[in-house]
Structure 1
Amino acid sequence: MKISFATTAALIASIGIAAPVFAQQSAPQASGAHWVTSWATALQSIPQRDALPPLYRAPEVAGRTVRQIVYPTLGGDVARVRISNLYGRAPLVIQAMAIAPSAGGAAVSQAESVRVTFGGREAVSLPPGGELDSDPVRIGLKRGAPYAISSYMGAEQKMVAWHRVSSQVNYVSRPGDHVANPSSGAFVQRFTQYAWVTGLAVEAPGGQTIAAIGDSITDGMRSSLNENRRWPDALARRLAREQGAHLAVIDLGISGNRLLSDSPCYGEALERRFQRDALGHAGVRTAVLLIGINDINFQSMPPRAGLDCDYPHTQVNADDLIAGYRRVIAAAHARGVRLLGATITPAALPPEREAIRAKVNQWIRTSGQFDGVVDFDAALRDPADPLRLRREYDSGDHIHPSDTGYAAMANAIPLEAIAGK
């Protein structure tokens, strides 16, 4: 559910607060502006039950300032921030927000901090399920540079949705409004998720966005913390070098995600979230789909007492996955978006599961249903044992690539396909 600025004004009329002083103010709305999403993430609900494992316990954010670090993949003079209350059960209340260049850790450049407003107001209350783009702000985003988005949260705010594997350290302050505080001293807690901020777009005439969507291998699981070594990051750097300054790449992978089944921990099934998480972003003209290994694996996982993140243990075969791919392809084409199919990478599977992977990969390569093929399987497999990752590309668990492996994935993508030539 997207919320209009008129609706926003009505929602926030009762919670406005005094505005802190910032270096710059909101830019005027540009008529006919061409927006391109330069950074984004996908949300998943946080399991709500007693005695959660530490991995699924959200930080306390009520009345505190949350500072999140993002890296735009396309620059621009004017930007806007997207917030989301997806999976929320109560309004999302942000009392103040700013964006500023990161100065390392939780510190920011005070001189370049810009106040972010919504419908001309500093405070916003977003109903459950809603999402909203901010007013445009002039900040002059630089491609590949870190920016801190600071949000002073409502007095009763709880975190009920996040992007769990951010591979990025973010920060929560002690109680109070520290949006305008340039130092790191007030930010006493670290967490490695993203919350509420789901997109950063720039005004970029002629630009477009490549949406990478999938599971943990797109999410960058086991890549180096704070170093942007996921394959979509490496692709963004490659495109900047080889294709110029008009293409952005956004990473919409969710670790544990499946094509066909929801999960208590790993998000909605990709075929159901695809329209929102990929097609819903400004400027998306091409998407790369890598999904299916968890559908193949989770059906064989034993049920667990308590929190069973692999539930439901849906039985799937290659035909089930192919039917799901066809539905995603149709959704992309209905919106005029080109969809590239990526082969499922080696995972040292037992024979019955490997047979499913092999049949699916054969269909991806030969069916002609996708607008192009990205053969990640061929790029990562060991020539001496094609059912396994090459040793230098293996992070150690025989499923997820190392930083070197993620770089090899980015280099394997045919640019004539990714750039729509």
Structure 2
Amino acid sequence: MHHRSLLCLTVLLSLCLGSFTLAAFAAKQPEHWVGTWATSPVGVVNKEGDAGSTGTTYREIVHVSLGGSSVRIVLTNEFGTAPLTIGAAHIALSAGQDSISLTTANALTFSGNPSITIPAGGVAVSDPVELKLPPLSDLTISLFVPAQPISQLSVHTYADQTSYTAPGNVVGERVLEQPTSIYSWPFLKGVDVLVGAESASVVTLGDSITDGALSTRDANARWPDVLAKRLHDNKKTAELGVLNEGIGGNRVLHDVAGPSALARFDRDVLSQAGVKYLVIMESINDIGHAKDPIKPYDVVSADDLIAGLDQLAQRAHIHGIRVIGATLTPYVGAKYASPAGEAMRQAVNQWIRTTKDFDGVIDFDKATRDPANPSVFLPSCDSGDHLHPADGGYKIMGDSIDLNLFAK
């Protein structure tokens, strides 16, 4: 009896110690930085000289995916031709429109300094600040850009999100006086959060369809937004953020609307914090312009595009990133559509569905096409230009994604 009691006590102590050890191990898991929001800047000539002509505050609103305990931002002068000075920066939760929540407000510093000069072609990362950032919330970043010569801006031009400018340095004001609405994200490249070791990010690389063109402004109705909410609501994927690296007009092979996907890959994918997954949906602009029935240019073949997509996948795999290919949505009826272009789209989609280069596939074509006429959108998906989805189409795209692709 004594031996049995001693054995039970030993087993109990072992279980307790084991539980304590597991708990201690879990507690010691390191936090790391993961992207919660990002965008792809392009170079825009400052034709009117508005930016930099006088000191201006840019109050930019972004909708984050992951929450976190601390936050940092990434600024860009990647397309600038001269150094860019940011005189002050500020961060807070949004209180709606140009208002901020003062109880969450923080001044930002850069290597301990309240201002920073970013070299031409460069980026800058702020020092972290403690901020309880809820997932799927709106965050406000205010930047004061003092008067300076700026010939070319680094900016995401089509944000589908209202931000604001105001005269002078008013980064810490609760509400802006004399605000002017803008619909772009100048000088801002990303937001990272400090999160647990299990967290990571999903980069969505694409063109205007990934960027959310023609979706309702300020509604966060892009398909990556739909994906972000679904990931958050699913226990197995709740620790994943989504970074939208779509650029309207972008192509895989040629620099036109910003650098090509091949050229910007390191900057827009590999430089992001905590990337674990990459979704690639791009080629329709390559096809449309190459097979334009009126004025074709930058001619490419299906094999050229397949080789380009293959290169993107291989470059991601080198860095341990799982790559998910997405089929191209219907485009017959669009201005640059043609029978030859549709044949090329079908060939590229067939390769995407069957290649072993990808770790998974999302069939956006199947989700959005009209079964009675598979070359065109379902009426409920079409924005009216026969190329870009409407809000309902973006939702169908986001809802069609198998979340098990991100649970590995």
Shorter-chain TM-score: which interval?
Answer: 0.7 to 0.9
Aligned to 1:221: 213
Deviations 1:360-399 (A, max 9, x none): 1001111221111110000000011100000001111111
Distance, in Å, in 1 between the alignment partners of 2:108 and 2:141 is 9
SS of residue in 2 equivalent to 1:210: strand
Q: Is the 8 A contact 1:63 1:157 kept in 2?
A: no
Aligned to 1:309: none
Aligned to 1:130: 122
Aligned to 1:294: 285
Aligned to 2:5: none
Match of residue 342, structure 2, among 346, 350, 354: 354
Aligned to 1:152: 144
Aligned to 2:19: none
Q: 1:370/1:319 Cα in 2 relative to 1: closer, same or farther (>3 Å)?
A: same
Q: 1:359/1:301 Cα in 2 relative to 1: closer, same or farther (>3 Å)?
A: closer
Match of residue 257, structure 1, among 216, 241, 250: 250
Provide the alpha-carbon RMSD of the alignment: 1.8
Distance, in Å, in 1 between the alignment partners of 2:175 and 2:340 is 55
The one-letter code sitting in structure 2 at the alignment partner of 1:124 is I
Alignment of 1:19-418 (within 5 A): 33-47=31-45, 59-61=50-52, 62-156=54-148, 158=150, 160-174=153-167, 176-187=168-179, 189-205=180-196, 206-243=198-235, 245-263=238-256, 266-301=257-292, 313-348=297-332, 349-417=337-405
Deviations 1:243-271 (A, max 9, x none): 353110110000000000001xx100001
Q: Is the 8 A contact 1:71 1:143 kept in 2?
A: no
Structure 2 unmatched ranges of 5 or more = 1-28
The one-letter code sitting in structure 1 at the alignment partner of 2:116 is V
Q: 1:356/1:303 Cα in 2 relative to 1: closer, same or farther (>3 Å)?
A: closer
Give the Å deviation of 1:192: 0.6
Q: 1:198/1:387 Cα in 2 relative to 1: closer, same or farther (>3 Å)?
A: same
Q: 1:317/1:47 Cα in 2 relative to 1: closer, same or farther (>3 Å)?
A: farther
Give the Å deviation of 1:142: 1.0
Q: Is the 8 A contact 1:77 1:138 kept in 2?
A: yes
Q: 1:210/1:267 Cα in 2 relative to 1: closer, same or farther (>3 Å)?
A: same
The one-letter code sitting in structure 1 at the alignment partner of 2:160 is S
Q: Is the 8 A contact 2:380 2:390 kept in 1?
A: yes
Give the Å deviation of 1:32: 6.0
Distance, in Å, in 2 between the alignment partners of 1:313 and 1:351 is 16
Distance, in Å, in 1 between the alignment partners of 2:64 and 2:178 is 25
Q: 1:100/1:414 Cα in 2 relative to 1: closer, same or farther (>3 Å)?
A: same
Percentage of matched positions with identical amino acids: 40
The one-letter code sitting in structure 2 at the alignment partner of 1:368 is K
Deviations 1:14-73 (A, max 9, x none): xxxxxxxxxxxxxxxxx964101000000111146x6xxxxxx68534411000001110
Distance, in Å, in 2 between the alignment partners of 1:168 and 1:143 is 18
Distance, in Å, in 2 between the alignment partners of 1:223 and 1:126 is 33
Give the Å deviation of 1:139: 1.2
Deviations 1:142-169 (A, max 9, x none): 1111111001112215351211110001
Q: Is the 8 A contact 1:93 1:157 kept in 2?
A: no
* TM-score, length of structure 1 as denominator length: 0.85
The one-letter code sitting in structure 1 at the alignment partner of 2:79 is Y
The one-letter code sitting in structure 1 at the alignment partner of 2:166 is S
Distance, in Å, in 2 between the alignment partners of 1:255 and 1:420 is 29
Structure 1 unmatched ranges of 5 or more = 1-30, 51-56, 305-311
Structure label with greater radius of gyration: 2
Q: 1:320/1:212 Cα in 2 relative to 1: closer, same or farther (>3 Å)?
A: same
* TM-score, length of structure 2 as denominator length: 0.88
SS of residue in 1 equivalent to 2:366: helix
The one-letter code sitting in structure 1 at the alignment partner of 2:330 is P
Between Structure 1 and Structure 2, the one with more strand by share is 2
Q: Is the 8 A contact 2:153 2:187 kept in 1?
A: no
Deviations 1:84-114 (A, max 9, x none): 1111111111111000111111111223210
Distance, in Å, in 2 between the alignment partners of 1:397 and 1:237 is 27
SS of residue in 1 equivalent to 2:246: coil
SS of residue in 1 equivalent to 2:74: strand
Q: 1:111/1:58 Cα in 2 relative to 1: closer, same or farther (>3 Å)?
A: farther
Q: What number of residue pairs does the alignment pair up?
A: 372
Distance, in Å, in 1 between the alignment partners of 2:323 and 2:396 is 21
Aligned to 1:13: none
The one-letter code sitting in structure 2 at the alignment partner of 1:198 is K
Give the Å deviation of 1:279: 1.5
